[in-house]
Chains A and B, each alone.
Chain A
Amino acid sequence: MTLLRHTPKDITERSALTINPAKTCQPIGAMYAALGVRGCLPHSHGSQGCCAYHRSTLTRHYKDPISAGTSSFTEGASVFGGQANLLQAIQNIFTIYEPDVIAVHTTCLSETIGDDLNQIADKAQQEGKVPEGKYVIHASTPSYVGSHVTGFSNMCTGIAKGFGRKDTPKTGKINILPGWVEPSDMEEIKRLTSMMDLKYILFPDTSGVVNAPLLGEYHMFPDAGAKIEDLKEIGGSKGTVALGETASGPTARYMDTEFKVPCTVLPLPIGLRATDRFIDTLRKVGGRNVPAVIDNERGLVVDFMSDMHQYFHGKKVALWGDPDQLVSLVEFLRDLDMLPVHIVTGTPGKTFEKRIAAIMEETKMPVPYKLKVGGDMFLMHQWIKNEPVDLLIGNTYGKYIARDENIPFVRHGFPILDRQGHQYFPTVGYKGALRLMEMILNVFLDKADRESPEAKLELVY
């Protein structure tokens, strides 16, 4: 019995109904970003449900505790404004949970009411509700604008605003904004940067926070995440390398404008050439030679590509997710001579379409492709019904299409609720490129092993 049997092949224009979205709302991104500050408790300024939903989704994705506070709006707060709730929340959180930082983000509810976080945070400060040496930072994240990636980006700017200062003495360090990637990816970005022998401040840094070890004790605030003393120095860095236009670009430009720290915005280092660009940028801005060990890691990627090219070449791919991931994935798929023919992001934005077009042109995409910004997975499925593909790449929700249409499926993006690995193994960097190729190859070859006629079953691939 097919699962998505109400999805017709014929495509009709929809202007109001989103079906099977390829995005979610801003606050969850803000919550995730805030978890990347050491000793920080994210706080959702809205009704309880938002916080419960975001915590649940992040927990299901990471299989790790995600703590966050809520202003627990009731009807009264919704009429009279949420200031009293937030002031009380700040006091309670510092007394009971003792974080170093509370990172407040808004919701559609508090935004529609018009609560002003700047003013409420000031009032909390004036009323002595913020203990000495503790911080309240904040970001406006209305759920009806942008997507979860916008919320992540807004909280990154909130962190920069909260801790960064103009005229900070120069440190010679580099700010690195990793973008919305997995903790394992952040770890990998740090490893590569250290191998380049550079001093850096990476934020947010969720590695070790949302993929914490089981050691017999629970720490709401593990010894991980971007350190406050480092964040206070971001205004003194010699430059910022921002990864991912949508998630990191705005924060990098904010720091450029406010702290006069110049920035380079790069695509996420997913795939061979995107990683090359990252390493090359580090080389130039840091004035360091690339060590042989990185050349070797890169060489393994090229080796894998050449060894297995026959299985990648000419395969059609449908992929959906966040713009930053898609831009780099599409380039990598093209470099493998694969054909990304259907591309959907739910996240609105003006530059995405152009960037994909540029990649397609540069890599001489031999067949037409479809792309929709602000699209959904219902449309993607309809496209697939009209033009079948060999591979799906996207979040967990793709499994229903994969099963109905019998298409190999690689899970990538957010959320991944039904597989493990994203917490532990990166898809950025050269190691990540190897892993991506391995995942793609495995789903192809598993299908071949399952479905080849007996006489044709291959032992050696």
Chain B
Amino acid sequence: MSTKTKKRKELTPDEVRQELIKKYPPKVARKRAKQIQVNTGEEASTPEILSNVRTIPGIITMRGCSYAGCKGVVLGPTRDIVNITHGPIGCGFYSWLTRRNQTQPPTEEHENFLPYCFSTDMNENDIVFGGMNKLRQAIREAYDLFKPRAIAVFSTCPVGLIGDDVHAVAREMKETLNKEDPNHFVNVFAFSCEGYKGVSQSAGHHIANNQIFTHVIGHNDEPKEGKYKINVLGEYNIGGDAFVIEDLFERCGLTLVSTFSGNSSIYDFERAHTADLNTIMCHRSINYVAEMMEKKFGIPWFKVNFIGAVETAKSLRKIAQYFGDKELIERVEKVIAEEMPAVEAALAEIKPRTAGKTAMLFVGGSRAHHYQDLFKEMGMKTLAAGYEFAHRDDYEGRRVIPSIQVDADSRNIEELDVHKDDARYKESYEARKKALEAEGCEFSDYKGMMPEMEKDTLSIDDLNQFEADKLIELYKPDIFCAGIKEKFSIQKCGVPMKQLHSYDSGGPYAGFKGAINFYKEIDRLVNSKVWSFVKAPWSTNPELQATYNWE
């Protein structure tokens, strides 16, 4: 199989769709056809896209597993939890520092376990006779060495099969250790995030949300000092994004109670329920926590987006509107006014070189959507986009949730039965939410990616290597965005590739400063000289006649 990028005659989106699936065996083609849709450019006629379904065996998928979603994505960025991977060594090893989550402990005294990898390194004996004793001992050794606030256990595939009860071990060790030293509270909890659960990382997100909600959130009722208290959910501080957002909040006068989970601390998670508002960045990975917190504590949530200058300003204004305080509204406007000149200057500089270029984005559960805003600001068109592990609501909007059929793979992931916490439920938020809704402020909603994409562009779920190569061949976009596994096959074709999971070595890309970084990065990529060197000078002029011209 090889990919060349000879431009063919212009194909219609439907013809492209046919091209993508025509080589597949019939069964594969039928399924993939439902995962590839042509956008209509309007919400009402957005087509239904098949998503959050199994990847067909043998298809070279971009997806990872439930463990990666749970340990890698959601819990990985938190600096002060000792995260023990219970399993053979690989899973812990591969998720060790590879996602570029940055963290900044306030002082040298504060814990930071991010550079460490903890594992029970199960061997054959543990698989045959069970690994619970080893896990118990590993928790004991972690506790004795580090005396952390929390120890979390992450199950890998064989753990579920051999029937190790990780939750029982966690409960037991929590009790034992806290009895031993009642003055030092240690939280111990476990995640049944075996890699085979669900169909992608998404199952792991849900499992992570459930356990954090059950074991951590609400542990400490002492509120953080300050006005306008909010949480940011689904921001993982890759390349320093969370630092930019924290800086913006501080200048606006907002109090950030906790971020799930970029640059985060378990102490902040414990009092996340004392916030007045939940804002969601990555809808897919964390909407469960927001929903559960609203049910239990009455905290409203809405979607924000700090990717792109326009969206950042919009999100800040919406937060200010929520609190409705004149002082805050003015401060937010002031910050936006301070930031925008640099953004506009940067755009004026790069736009002549980026306008009219084309992009494709296949990444994550929100970035394929959010980063389209940045490309739009640069005058670039998104030809095709899709998610790795999203559900229909991320594509089509939350309005379709009632019509989503829950299949066996999703049913296996627990839905927590959450009840109102009468003592801590804040009734006052309900009234405020209603009043604001009457003004047109939307809560608990996400419109999805597809309605915002232009007519005749493509939305493709769980894109695989074959289809990626075909897209490159048929469209030759000016830039392609996905993950590390996809990066170099794309670049071998002479098309620059930007990683949007880990940002390559770049970032931050959030907020106004991040937008400027991204403009410059894309300008660098699409205008790099290197792509002009792909063909050797003699390849276009194969004649062998020589004229010696020594001068």
Does A126 count as interface, using CB distance less than 8 angstroms? no
- Contact assessment for A346 and B89 in the assembled complex, using a CB-CB cutoff below 8 Å: yes
Q: How far is A434 from B24 in the complex, measured between Cα atoms in Å?
A: 51
User: What's the minimum C-beta distance from B540 to chain A, rounded to whole angstroms?
Assistant: 12
Which residue in B2, B126, B134, B199 is a CB contact (below 8 Å) of A74? B199
- Cα of A415 to Cα of B171 in the assembled complex, Å: 36
CB of A216 within 8 A of CB of B408, answer no
Interface residues in A, total, Cβ within 8 A: 89
Pair B64/A49 contact, Cβ less than 8 Å: yes
Q: Does B516 contact A (CB under 8 A)?
A: no
**Are B161 and A98 in contact, with the CB atoms below 8 A?**
no
Q: Would you call B1 and A72 a contact (CB within 8 A)?
A: no
Which residues does chain B contribute within 8 Å of A88, judged by CB atoms?
56-58
B4 contacts which chain A residues (CB < 8 A)? Answer: 216-217
B90-98, B260-268, B283-291, B424-432: which one contacts chain A?
Answer: B90-98
User: Across the interface, do B65 and A49 meet the contact criterion of CB distance under 8 Å?
Assistant: yes
Contact call A92/B28, Cβ cutoff below 8 A: yes
How many residues in B have their beta carbons less than 8 Å from beta carbons of A? Answer: 98
A86 at the interface (CB under 8 A from B): yes
Chain A 211-249 per-residue mask, 1 if CB under 8 angstroms from chain B, else 0: 010111111110000000000000000000000000000
Contact of B161 (CB < 8 Å), options: A43, A109, A221? A109
Closest chain-A Cβ to B414's Cβ sits at a distance in Å of 13
User: In whole angstroms, how far apart are the Cα atoms of A25 and B122 in the complex?
Assistant: 11
B229 to chain A, nearest CB (A): 28
Cβ-based interface call for B488 (8 A): yes
CA–CA, A89 and B124, complex, Å? 28
Known: A107-B157, A218-B492, A219-B1. A48 touches B121 (CB 8 A): no
B493, A73: Cβ atoms closer than 8 Å? no
Within the complex, which residue of A73, A113, A144 is in contact with B122, where a contact is CB–CB below 8 Å? A144
Query: Chain B residue with minimal CB distance to A145?
Result: B124
Given contacts A17-B141, A47-B195, A49-B68, contact A108 B88 (CB under 8 A): yes
Q: In the bound complex, do residue B135 and residue A16 qualify as a contact, i.e. CB atoms below 8 Å apart?
A: yes
List residues of B (106-160) whose CB comes within 8 Å of A's CBs.
108, 111-113, 115-124, 126-127, 134-138, 140-142, 144-146, 156-158, 160
**Do A52 and B64 touch across chains, with their CB atoms under 8 A apart?**
yes
Query: Is the pair B92, A21 in contact by a Cβ cutoff of 8 Å?
Result: yes
Interface pair A18/B112, CB less than 8 Å apart: no
Q: 8 Å CB contacts to A: which residues of B45-80?
A: 54-68
**Given known contacts A16-B138, A143-B88, A95 and B23 CB-to-CB distance under 8 angstroms:** yes
Interface members, chain A 323-346 (any B CB < 8 Å): 346
Taking a contact as CB atoms under 8 Å apart, the answer to whether B117 and A68 are in contact is no
A97 to B144 alpha-carbon distance, docked (Å): 51
Which residues of A sit under 8 angstroms from B115, Cβ to Cβ?
Answer: 3-4, 400
Contact of B162 with A by CB under 8 A: yes
Q: Which chain B residues (151-206) contact chain A, with CB distance < 8 Å?
A: 156-158, 160-162, 194-200
Residues on A with C-beta less than 8 A from B137 are 15-17
Q: Is the CB of A214 within 8 A of B98?
A: no
**What is B's interface to A at a CB cutoff of 8 Å?**
1-5, 23-25, 28, 54-68, 84, 87-98, 105, 108, 111-113, 115-124, 126-127, 134-138, 140-142, 144-146, 156-158, 160-162, 194-200, 408-409, 412, 465-466, 469, 472, 483-485, 487-494, 534-535
Instruction: Show 9 residue pairs from A and B whose CB-CB distance is below 8 angstroms, ordered by the A residue.
Output: A2-B108, A16-B137, A47-B195, A65-B488, A70-B55, A73-B157, A74-B199, A75-B197, A397-B96
Q: Knowing that A3-B115, A70-B61, A218-B489 are A-B contacts, what are 14 other residue pairs whose CB atoms are under 8 Å apart, sorted by A's residue number? A: A1-B108, A6-B116, A18-B92, A21-B93, A24-B93, A47-B157, A49-B64, A50-B90, A56-B98, A72-B59, A72-B61, A91-B58, A216-B4, A417-B98
